[in-house]
Amino acid sequence: MNGRLEYWVKVPIGPIHPALEEPEKFIITLDGERIIHVDVKLGYNLRGLEWIAMRRNYIQILYLAERICGICSFSHNHTYSRAVEEMAGIQVPERAEYIRVIVGELERIHSHLLNLGVVGHTIGYDTVLHLSWLARERVMDILEAIGGNRVNYSVNMIGGVRRNIEEKHKRAILDMVKYYRNEVMPKIEEIFLYDPTVEARLRDAGVIPKRIAIEYSAQGPTARGSGVKKDVRYNEKLSVYPDLGVKPVTPKEFTGVVKGDVFDRMVVRVGELWQSMDTIERAIDQMPEGKIKAVPKDNALLFQLKKADGEGIGRYEAPRGELIHYVKGQKGKDVPAKWKMREPTFPNLFAIARALVGEQVADVPVAIASIDPCLSCTDRVAVIDANTGRKKILTEKDLLKLSIEKTRELNPEVKAKPEVIGVGCPRGGAL
């Protein structure tokens, strides 16, 4: 065994590598083309969001939450809103919940189309990338029409939504659904369910067995691809989703077998595209009239939140899996004492790292892409490498101390204690 050790090669994949969209690092130990061990290193995308959040009030954090990640910008601020609503005991109007469902599902469509393209690109099938991203433009246009932006639509507000869905939006959305059903989905299905190249590359690559998926607490399509029926919208009877008949999609319904490989994860995503379209249609059908915000004025809302005390947890099935936000309020202040989120990529990354052992090096990029990793969401804890090669894991307390020191060094004017800048959102009242 020791003789073999000599032939092992350690290949770093990342932090910068063409297969990865975001900085992350996998140290892969290879024996020829076979993978012996995978080590995951995180922390290349730390932006100190939780620290920034301590200097923002509840409403400002909404826009910060949106910028955690470009793809799930709705999911993050939706989940955050749910957490704050639970904390402050705010009832969300039903129409607002429906609008959230519609925008959430639109986001799921664009996120899944993006991931399908990325997986196509990682196996060198660039045509899939270009055409699926072309198809994605349509839903981006709709999101722009509703929210005013292609990516950060800022639809959510604590206790409701900021944008209404009007008749013209409804017509545009239904047109879009029709376009996807008739023109895009047949092609997508042909590529991801029947294309021989795709099947050759994705079948039996990066297999996550059901047991591993449960043990590592895999989330979203990664778990469902392994046959775990896990979907917060269904399991937790979240918001109005039970009325819309959302069920976890597993590959069994499409191909009849559950293997837990990359192919199955893609099948789940294709299935969820269909499901999202059905959900959107039903939501538009059932959407009641009424107001869209529990508290119309932002400063009144902020005042109400100032009085709130306690903690709230928001859960939502983001396109990549279950997203959890935790908010702890403090009485008399419009700043949360603690804001913390758990992203689906975190458990998924370790599940996939475990699954890669024994596979070929050619499967690494496609397996990593298949969980649709979102590192900008995940990285919020820093591991500092000293120049000497010594590693030290800093606790939150150390980080806080260090960042206060650094802030002082940069700008002595700023006081040591995290403070809020400004009151409320200056543009909030006008909208």
Partner 1 sequence: MNILYATLGFIGIYTYVSFASLLWEGIDRKLVARMQRRVGPPLLQPFYDFLKLVSKESIIPRDANRFFELAPVLALATSIALLAYTPLGFEPLFGTKGDVILFVYLLTLIGFLRVIGAVSSGSPYAQIGAQREMIILVSREGPMMLALFTILWRLNGLGVTKPFSMGTFYEHNVWELGTPMSVIGTVILLFVFLAWLASEIEVGYFDIPEAETELAEGTMAEYSGRHLALFDLASAIKAFVSASLVVAVFFPWGISGYLDLIGLPAMVVDLLFHTLKVFTVLFVSMTIFRTVTGRLRITQATNLFWTRLLPASMVGALLLVIDALGVIA
User: Of 130, 237, 307, 415, which one interacts with partner 1 (CB under 8 A)?
Assistant: 130
Contact pick of 8, 31, 32, 47 for partner 1 (by CB under 8 A): 32
CB of 28 to partner 1, least distance (A): 10
The single residue among 101, 143, 198, 249 that binds partner 1, judged by CB under 8 A, is: 198
Cβ-based nearer residue to partner 1, 141 or 166: 141
Query: How many amino acids of this chain bind partner 1 (CB under 8 A)?
Result: 32
Number of CB atoms found within 10 A of residue 235's CB: 13
356 scored as a contact of partner 1 (CB under 8 A): no
35 binds partner 1 (CB under 8 A): no
| 125 touching partner 1, by CB under 8 A | yes
CB of 355 to partner 1, least distance (A): 16
Task: Give the DSSP per-residue string, 325-372.
Answer: EEEEE-TT-SS-SEEEEE-THHHHHHHHHHHHTTSBTTHHHHHHHHT-
Q: Residues 73, 79, 122, 279: which binds partner 1 (CB under 8 A)?
A: 122
Q: Which is nearer to partner 1, 14 or 159 (CB)?
A: 14
**Other CB atoms closer than 10 Å to residue 45's CB: what's the count?**
16
Q: Which is nearer to partner 1, 27 or 185 (CB)?
A: 27
Which of the ranges 155-163, 270-278, 355-363, 372-380 carries the binding residues for partner 1, by CB under 8 A? Answer: 355-363
Q: What's phi and psi for 43, nearest 5 deg?
A: 110, 15
Say whether residue 201 binds partner 1 (CB under 8 A). yes
Q: Which is nearer to partner 1, 19 or 185 (CB)?
A: 19
Stretch that binds partner 1, among 53-61, 106-114, 127-135, 421-429 (CB under 8 A): 127-135
Does 128 sit near partner 1 (CB under 8 A)? yes
Q: Is 143 in the site for partner 1 (CB under 8 A)?
A: no
What does the alpha-carbon distance between residue 253 and residue 256 come to, in Å, rounded to a whole number? 6
Whole-angstrom distance, CA of residue 160 vs CA of residue 181: 30
Helix axes 94-122, 73-88, angle to 10 degrees: 150
Q: Which of 300, 362, 393, 402 binds partner 1 (CB under 8 A)?
A: 362
Site string for partner 1, 51-90 (x = CB under 8 A): ----------------------------------------
In the sheet that 338-342 helps form, which strands lie side by side, from edge to edge? 310-318, 321-329, 338-342
Which position among 52, 174, 361, 383 is part of the footprint of partner 1 (CB under 8 A)?
361
- The smaller minimum CB distance to partner 1, of residues 16 and 431, is found at 16
For position 372 contacting partner 1 by CB under 8 A, the verdict is no
Measured from the Cβ of residue 234, the count of other Cβ atoms closer than 10 Å reads: 17
Q: Which residue is associated with the tokens 């008949």? A: 245
Q: Which helix H or strand E contains 202, and what residues bound it?
A: helix 196-202
Stretch that binds partner 1, among 10-18, 39-47, 158-166, 282-290 (CB under 8 A): 10-18
Which of these, 156, 163, 268, lies nearest to 208 by C-alpha position? Answer: 268
Q: Extract the runs of DSSP E, i.e. beta strands, from 20-170.
A: 25-31, 34-41, 156-157, 160-161
Could you give the CA distance from residue 152 to residue 129 in angstroms, rounded to a whole number?
23
126-147 and 167-179 helices cross at what angle (nearest 10)? 170
Nearer to partner 1 by Cβ, of 125 and 254: the residue is 125
Cis geometry, peptide bond prior to residue 15 (ω within 30 degrees of 0):
yes
Nearest alpha-carbon partner for 422 in 322, 293, 335, 306: 335
- Using rule CB under 8 A, residue 27 touches partner 1: no
SS3 call for 90:
coil
Nearer to partner 1, 6 or 289 (CB): 6
Taking the least distance from each CB to partner 1, the nearer of 69 and 129 is: 129
- Distance CA(72)–CA(58), nearest Å, equals 19
When binding is defined by CB under 8 A, the residue of 43, 117, 120, 206 that contacts partner 1 is: 120
Question: Residue 324: left if φ>0, alpha if ψ -120 to 50, beta else—which one?
Answer: beta
Shortest approach of partner 1 to residue 32 CB, angstroms?
8
Q: Which helix (H) or strand (E) holds 378?
A: helix 375-378
If one asks whether residue 121 binds partner 1 (CB under 8 A), the answer comes out as: yes
Residues of this chain that interact with partner 1 (CB under 8 A) are 9-12, 17-19, 30, 32-33, 120-128, 130-131, 134, 197-198, 200-201, 360-365
